Amino acid sequence: MRRQIVKRLLLAAIAAGSLTTVHAIATDNPEHVKQLKETRKCSGCDLQNASLEGVNVIDGDLSYADARGAQLYKAELRGANLTGALFTGANLKGADLRDTKGADLVGAVTDEWTKCPNGSAGPCQ
């Protein structure tokens, strides 16, 4: 009897953890993603884990946006305002970050194809 209770509790804990994981993966705000794609401006937006491959934000505004875990592969961010934006865990491989303002790429993933804010080839510091 006790073994069955422990087993049920364990299964319930695993199920609860799975639901939490699903929620953590899908945290971007679709309205913010749409706004960014349409206007190139999304100051303070929630873009966590958003799929933004190849997005064009040239001379745009992502200041104070939360882009942790976002997929920004080959994104065009040249000249964008990135002041205060969070990019921890974001995929910026192949992205163009030249001439961005206030870029803090701590924890971001870049590669040799990334163009860093200072114009050099990545990986960016």
Domain ranges of the chain: 28-125
Give pLDDT tens digits for 74-119. 999 999 999 999 999 999 999 999 999 999 999 999 999 999 999 9
**pLDDT class for 125, splitting at 50, 70, 90?**
confident
Is the domain spanning 28-125 CATH 3.40.50.720? The answer is: no
Q: Using CA atoms, how far apart are residues 69 and 86, in angstroms rounded to an integer?
A: 9
Alpha carbon 31 to chain centroid, angstroms: 15
Contact 83, 60 (CB under 8 A): no
